[in-house]
A and B are shown apart, each in its own frame.
Chain A
């Protein structure tokens, strides 16, 4: 059983602040990691992928990966009300399948 644990939400942040999302995974052989955003009633939308240890920045999003600690995180800088959604952490196993965490719901207060 491949487990993916995300910090429990909901996470409420004021507009303009940084939202910090954490994820740990149990499958040590995972090599690819993805963050998806899912708005209520909609399907997931890919926002970040990360494959190597360290940081990867894309606009207001920064993903961090530490394979030794089996940990991946997502920072959302300058949070906007449009960032209010559920964020799903999804490592890919060596069977090429994604495992999804329960998600962390973020609410950005205007």
Chain B
């Protein structure tokens, strides 16, 4: 149980384009999903918290107009990186939890490379 999927697993795009990443909880309903970014040799950095049916809350320093998050259902959250630039190249990982008091389960991650 507690399986979270992400799609795509890897994406290469040109500078200025937008990329959408999907995060799905496969065997539980996720009231809350989290989006993280991890640069090489660094730990995970929380970008935003996504609650079903409401606006995401972003961590300080994360541009909400650049990283659009939509949590349309209890099993799906999407992250869209708009007008991507090479500095946005990173490993994007989502996590999902059936409840705020429960564990967070991570998806396999999406490796984004912006040329």
Query: For window 70-110 of chain A, which residues contact chain B by CB distance below 8 Å?
Result: 88, 96-98, 100-103
List chain A positions with a Cβ less than 8 A from chain B. Answer: 32, 34, 36, 42-46, 49, 88, 96-98, 100-103
Tell me whether B46 and A98 are in contact (CB under 8 A).
yes
Tell me whether A97 and B49 are in contact (CB under 8 A).
yes
Tell me whether A96 and B32 are in contact (CB under 8 A).
yes
Tell me whether A42 and B43 are in contact (CB under 8 A).
no
Binary per-residue interface labels of chain B (98-115) against chain A in the complex, 1 for a CB within 8 Å, 0 otherwise: 001101111111000000
Binary per-residue interface labels of chain B (80-107) against chain A in the complex, 1 for a CB within 8 Å, 0 otherwise: 0000000000010100000011011111
The reply on B62 being an interface residue by CB < 8 A is no
The reply on B11 being an interface residue by CB < 8 A is no
Tell me whether B43 and A45 are in contact (CB under 8 A).
no
Q: Which of B34, B44, B91 meets A88, CB within 8 Å?
A: B44
Tell me whether B49 and A100 are in contact (CB under 8 A).
no
A88 cross-chain contacts in B, Cβ below 8 A = 43-44
Please report the C-alpha to C-alpha distance between residue A44 and residue B32 in the assembled complex, in whole angstroms: 18
Please report the C-alpha to C-alpha distance between residue A97 and residue B44 in the assembled complex, in whole angstroms: 12
Tell me whether B109 and A101 are in contact (CB under 8 A).
no
- Minimum C-beta distance from B28 to chain A (A): 14
Q: Which of A34, A42, A46, A103 meets B108, CB within 8 Å?
A: A42
